[in-house]
Amino acid sequence: MEVVERFESMLAEGADSPSLRFALGAEYLKIKNMALAIKHLEKALAQDPEFSAAWKLLARSQEKIGLKEDAIYSYSQGIKVATENGDIQATREMKVFLSRLQKA
């Protein structure tokens, strides 16, 4: 929890940014707090809709709590953004995750 507390403290001090929100979302995902992971990842994307890694983690978080349609949407948006930004690896990864989710 130490990392989360440090990031939350930075946020409370006004250091809000897409990167900080992404980091918080990733840490909450690690400790399986999907509600807070989703909250922070959505805020990261509200600040920077072109943040493909945030789309990927948001979709993973949504998928883990059974929000299949939301996860499909997030993966699709992430693929679109990653493709537009030339991020081939992220595009490939999200296409694989999306395909698996749609088959489930």
Residue 28's nearest CA partner among 36, 16, 20 is 36
Domains of the chain: 2-103 (1.25.40.10)
For 13-58, how does the pLDDT look when each residue is reduced to its tens digit (9 = 90+)?
Answer: 999 999 999 999 999 999 999 999 999 999 999 999 999 999 999 9
Res 104: pLDDT: 82
What CA–CA distance (Å, rounded) separates 78 from 69?
14
Q: What is the dihedral of CA 5, 16, 49, 19, to 10 degrees?
A: -50
Beta-strand runs (E) in 39-79: none
Q: What is the dihedral of CA 34, 36, 53, 9, to 10 degrees?
A: -140
For 45-102, how does the pLDDT look when each residue is reduced to its tens digit (9 = 90+)?
Answer: 999 999 999 999 999 999 999 999 999 999 999 999 999 999 999 999 999 999 999 9
Q: Report the predicted TM-score, pTM, of the whole model to 2 decimal places.
A: 0.92
